[in-house]
A = this chain, B = another copy of it.
Protein backbone atom coordinates (compact mmCIF):
# COMPACT_ATOMS: atom_id res chain seq x y z
CA UNK A 1 0.00 0.00 0.00
CA UNK A 2 1.55 3.32 -1.03
CA UNK A 3 2.26 5.78 1.69
CA UNK A 4 0.01 8.68 1.32
CA UNK A 5 2.28 11.10 3.01
CA UNK A 6 5.42 10.52 1.05
CA UNK A 7 7.18 13.55 -0.25
CA UNK A 8 9.88 13.65 -2.86
CA UNK A 9 13.20 13.39 -1.18
CA UNK A 10 14.64 16.41 -2.86
CA UNK A 11 15.02 18.79 0.01
CA UNK A 12 14.66 21.80 -2.19
CA UNK A 13 11.13 20.86 -2.92
CA UNK A 14 10.32 21.40 0.70
CA UNK A 15 11.02 25.07 0.27
CA UNK A 16 8.23 27.55 0.79
CA UNK A 17 5.92 27.81 -2.13
CA UNK A 18 4.07 30.75 -3.55
CA UNK A 19 3.62 32.86 -0.43
CA UNK A 20 1.19 35.18 -2.10
CA UNK A 21 0.66 37.24 1.00
CA UNK A 22 3.85 39.27 0.92
CA UNK A 23 6.57 37.16 -0.53
CA UNK A 24 9.57 39.14 0.33
CA UNK A 25 10.51 42.73 -0.28
CA UNK A 26 13.54 41.63 -2.18
CA UNK A 27 13.87 44.71 -4.17
CA UNK A 28 14.77 47.90 -2.38
CA UNK A 29 12.52 49.72 -4.77
CA UNK A 30 9.67 47.41 -3.92
CA UNK A 31 6.22 48.72 -4.75
CA UNK A 32 4.26 50.23 -1.92
CA UNK A 33 1.51 47.68 -2.19
CA UNK A 34 2.77 44.22 -2.94
CA UNK A 35 -0.63 42.67 -2.29
CA UNK A 36 -1.67 40.31 -4.99
CA UNK A 37 -5.22 41.45 -5.36
CA UNK A 38 -6.32 44.64 -6.98
CA UNK A 39 -3.56 44.83 -9.52
CA UNK A 40 -3.46 44.39 -13.20
CA UNK A 41 -1.88 41.45 -14.93
CA UNK A 42 0.85 43.65 -16.29
CA UNK A 43 1.69 44.92 -12.86
CA UNK A 44 1.84 41.46 -11.40
CA UNK A 45 3.95 40.29 -14.27
CA UNK A 46 6.35 43.15 -13.83
CA UNK A 47 6.67 42.59 -10.16
CA UNK A 48 7.24 38.89 -10.57
CA UNK A 49 9.91 39.57 -13.13
CA UNK A 50 11.64 42.06 -10.91
CA UNK A 51 11.56 39.70 -7.99
CA UNK A 52 12.97 36.89 -10.04
CA UNK A 53 15.82 39.05 -11.23
CA UNK A 54 16.57 40.33 -7.76
CA UNK A 55 16.64 36.77 -6.46
CA UNK A 56 18.89 35.75 -9.32
CA UNK A 57 21.33 38.52 -8.51
CA UNK A 58 21.55 37.40 -4.92
CA UNK A 59 22.22 33.86 -6.00
CA UNK A 60 24.82 34.88 -8.53
CA UNK A 61 26.53 36.90 -5.84
CA UNK A 62 26.71 33.74 -3.77
CA UNK A 63 27.42 30.95 -6.17
CA UNK A 64 28.09 32.37 -9.59
CA UNK A 65 26.23 31.85 -12.83
CA UNK A 66 26.79 28.12 -13.09
CA UNK A 67 25.75 27.66 -9.50
CA UNK A 68 22.40 29.29 -10.13
CA UNK A 69 19.53 26.96 -10.98
CA UNK A 70 16.16 27.93 -12.34
CA UNK A 71 14.41 26.12 -9.55
CA UNK A 72 16.34 28.01 -6.97
CA UNK A 73 15.66 31.37 -8.55
CA UNK A 74 11.94 30.70 -8.65
CA UNK A 75 11.74 29.59 -5.08
CA UNK A 76 14.05 32.27 -3.72
CA UNK A 77 11.75 34.81 -5.30
CA UNK A 78 8.78 33.26 -3.55
CA UNK A 79 7.31 31.62 -6.60
CA UNK A 80 7.31 28.16 -8.08
CA UNK A 81 10.16 26.28 -9.72
CA UNK A 82 8.65 26.76 -13.10
CA UNK A 83 8.27 30.50 -13.22
CA UNK A 84 11.75 31.51 -14.37
CA UNK A 85 11.46 29.25 -17.38
CA UNK A 86 7.95 30.50 -17.97
CA UNK A 87 9.17 34.08 -18.14
CA UNK A 88 12.63 33.84 -19.55
CA UNK A 89 12.58 30.63 -21.53
CA UNK A 90 16.10 29.29 -21.64
CA UNK A 91 18.53 29.72 -18.87
CA UNK A 92 20.70 31.52 -21.34
CA UNK A 93 18.11 34.23 -21.61
CA UNK A 94 17.71 34.54 -17.90
CA UNK A 95 21.45 34.96 -17.61
CA UNK A 96 21.33 37.71 -20.22
CA UNK A 97 18.54 39.45 -18.33
CA UNK A 98 20.43 39.12 -15.07
CA UNK A 99 23.53 40.55 -16.65
CA UNK A 100 21.62 43.57 -17.93
CA UNK A 101 19.92 43.97 -14.59
CA UNK A 102 23.26 44.02 -12.83
CA UNK A 103 24.82 46.33 -15.38
CA UNK A 104 21.89 48.75 -15.19
CA UNK A 105 22.42 49.17 -11.52
CA UNK A 106 25.91 50.44 -12.18
CA UNK A 107 25.34 52.18 -15.45
CA UNK A 108 25.30 55.70 -14.08
CA UNK A 109 27.67 55.19 -11.28
CA UNK A 110 30.40 57.21 -12.90
CA UNK A 111 28.10 59.85 -14.31
CA UNK A 112 28.81 63.27 -12.95
CA UNK A 113 25.89 63.84 -10.63
CA UNK A 114 27.27 66.73 -8.70
CA UNK A 115 27.71 70.37 -9.34
CA UNK A 116 31.46 70.01 -9.52
CA UNK A 117 33.04 71.77 -12.42
CA UNK A 118 33.85 69.49 -15.36
CA UNK A 119 37.34 68.09 -15.77
CA UNK A 120 39.67 67.11 -12.94
CA UNK A 121 37.27 68.03 -10.15
CA UNK A 122 34.50 65.87 -11.60
CA UNK A 123 36.87 63.07 -12.22
CA UNK A 124 38.15 62.98 -8.69
CA UNK A 125 34.68 63.34 -7.28
CA UNK A 126 33.34 60.51 -9.43
CA UNK A 127 36.20 58.27 -8.45
CA UNK A 128 35.66 58.97 -4.78
CA UNK A 129 31.94 58.44 -4.88
CA UNK A 130 32.32 55.22 -6.91
CA UNK A 131 34.25 53.77 -4.04
CA UNK A 132 31.88 55.24 -1.46
CA UNK A 133 28.82 53.77 -3.08
CA UNK A 134 30.30 50.32 -3.20
CA UNK A 135 29.92 49.83 0.53
CA UNK A 136 26.25 49.92 1.40
CA UNK A 137 24.63 47.53 3.83
CA UNK A 138 23.98 45.05 1.07
CA UNK A 139 27.10 44.13 -0.82
CA UNK A 140 25.23 41.69 -3.05
CA UNK A 141 24.91 43.94 -6.11
CA UNK A 142 28.56 44.90 -6.03
CA UNK A 143 29.58 41.33 -5.51
CA UNK A 144 27.32 40.26 -8.33
CA UNK A 145 28.95 42.76 -10.64
CA UNK A 146 32.40 41.54 -9.74
CA UNK A 147 31.39 37.97 -10.37
CA UNK A 148 29.68 38.83 -13.61
CA UNK A 149 32.80 40.63 -14.77
CA UNK A 150 34.88 37.65 -13.80
CA UNK A 151 32.67 35.06 -15.44
CA UNK A 152 32.44 37.14 -18.57
CA UNK A 153 35.78 35.53 -19.38
CA UNK A 154 34.07 32.25 -20.13
CA UNK A 155 30.44 33.10 -20.73
CA UNK A 156 29.83 35.05 -23.94
CA UNK A 157 26.41 36.31 -22.97
CA UNK A 158 27.92 37.90 -19.91
CA UNK A 159 30.84 39.24 -21.87
CA UNK A 160 28.44 41.18 -24.02
CA UNK A 161 26.58 42.82 -21.18
CA UNK A 162 29.74 43.50 -19.22
CA UNK A 163 31.42 44.92 -22.27
CA UNK A 164 28.54 47.37 -22.48
CA UNK A 165 28.79 48.61 -18.94
CA UNK A 166 32.56 48.76 -19.20
CA UNK A 167 32.46 50.84 -22.33
CA UNK A 168 29.97 53.26 -20.84
CA UNK A 169 32.11 53.65 -17.76
CA UNK A 170 35.29 54.07 -19.73
CA UNK A 171 33.53 56.58 -21.92
CA UNK A 172 32.48 58.72 -18.97
CA UNK A 173 35.95 58.72 -17.47
CA UNK A 174 37.50 59.47 -20.84
CA UNK A 175 35.21 62.45 -21.31
CA UNK A 176 36.18 63.88 -17.96
CA UNK A 177 39.85 63.38 -18.71
CA UNK A 178 39.44 65.13 -22.05
CA UNK A 179 37.72 68.03 -20.40
CA UNK A 180 40.52 68.19 -17.88
CA UNK A 181 43.07 68.33 -20.65
CA UNK A 182 41.13 71.01 -22.49
CA UNK A 183 40.87 73.06 -19.32
CA UNK A 184 44.60 72.67 -18.83
CA UNK A 185 44.21 70.76 -15.54
CA UNK A 186 45.56 67.49 -16.88
CA UNK A 187 48.79 66.80 -18.71
CA UNK A 188 48.49 66.92 -22.46
CA UNK A 189 50.50 63.69 -22.92
CA UNK A 190 47.91 61.59 -21.13
CA UNK A 191 46.08 59.20 -23.44
CA UNK A 192 42.46 59.69 -22.35
CA UNK A 193 41.23 56.26 -23.35
CA UNK A 194 44.10 54.25 -21.92
CA UNK A 195 44.08 56.31 -18.76
CA UNK A 196 40.34 55.74 -18.39
CA UNK A 197 40.82 52.00 -18.75
CA UNK A 198 43.46 52.05 -16.05
CA UNK A 199 41.36 54.11 -13.67
CA UNK A 200 38.36 51.84 -14.09
CA UNK A 201 40.58 48.81 -13.58
CA UNK A 202 41.95 50.28 -10.39
CA UNK A 203 38.50 51.10 -9.09
CA UNK A 204 37.21 47.63 -9.80
CA UNK A 205 40.19 45.90 -8.32
CA UNK A 206 39.94 47.96 -5.19
CA UNK A 207 36.33 47.02 -4.78
CA UNK A 208 36.97 43.41 -5.56
CA UNK A 209 39.62 43.40 -2.94
CA UNK A 210 37.16 44.78 -0.43
CA UNK A 211 34.42 42.36 -1.51
CA UNK A 212 36.71 39.42 -0.90
CA UNK A 213 38.09 40.55 2.40
CA UNK A 214 36.00 43.35 3.88
CA UNK A 215 37.49 42.88 7.32
CA UNK A 216 40.97 43.89 6.37
CA UNK A 217 40.27 46.50 3.74
CA UNK A 218 39.29 50.02 4.66
CA UNK A 219 37.63 51.53 1.64
CA UNK A 220 37.75 55.09 2.98
CA UNK A 221 41.50 55.01 3.36
CA UNK A 222 42.01 53.47 -0.05
CA UNK A 223 39.71 56.07 -1.53
CA UNK A 224 41.68 58.99 -0.14
CA UNK A 225 44.93 57.37 -1.07
CA UNK A 226 43.85 56.78 -4.64
CA UNK A 227 42.34 60.21 -5.16
CA UNK A 228 45.52 61.92 -4.17
CA UNK A 229 47.64 59.53 -6.25
CA UNK A 230 45.50 60.22 -9.24
CA UNK A 231 45.69 63.94 -8.79
CA UNK A 232 49.43 63.76 -8.58
CA UNK A 233 49.86 61.57 -11.63
CA UNK A 234 47.51 63.50 -13.90
CA UNK A 235 48.17 67.07 -12.87
CA UNK A 236 49.48 69.25 -15.62
Residues on A facing B (Cβ under 8 Å): 1-6, 8-11, 46, 49-50, 53, 62-64, 66-67, 86-90, 92-94, 97, 100-101, 104-105, 143, 146-147, 149-156, 159, 162-163, 166-167, 170, 189-191, 193-195, 197-198, 200-202, 204-206, 208-209, 211-213, 216-218, 221-222, 224-226, 228-234
Contact = CB atoms under 8 A, between A and B. Distances in A.
Contact of A201 (B93, B97, B170, B209): B209
This chain: copies in complex:
4
Nearest to A47: B2
Contacts of A105: 1
A157 B234 CA distance: 39
A3 B156 contact: yes
A147 to B, nearest CB: 5
Given A2-B50, A8-B87, A63 B209 contact: no
B151 A46 contact: no
A153 B212 contact: yes
Contact of A213 (B87, B90, B163): B163
The 4 closest A-B pairs by CB, nearest first: A9-B89, A201-B205, A150-B150, A64-B154
A39 to B, nearest CB: 16
Contacts of A162: 212
24 contacts: A1-B2, A1-B101, A1-B105, A3-B97, A3-B101, A3-B104, A6-B92, A8-B89, A8-B90, A9-B87, A9-B89, A9-B93, A66-B66, A67-B154, A146-B153, A152-B212, A153-B211, A194-B224, A194-B226, A198-B202, A198-B229, A201-B202, A201-B208, A202-B205
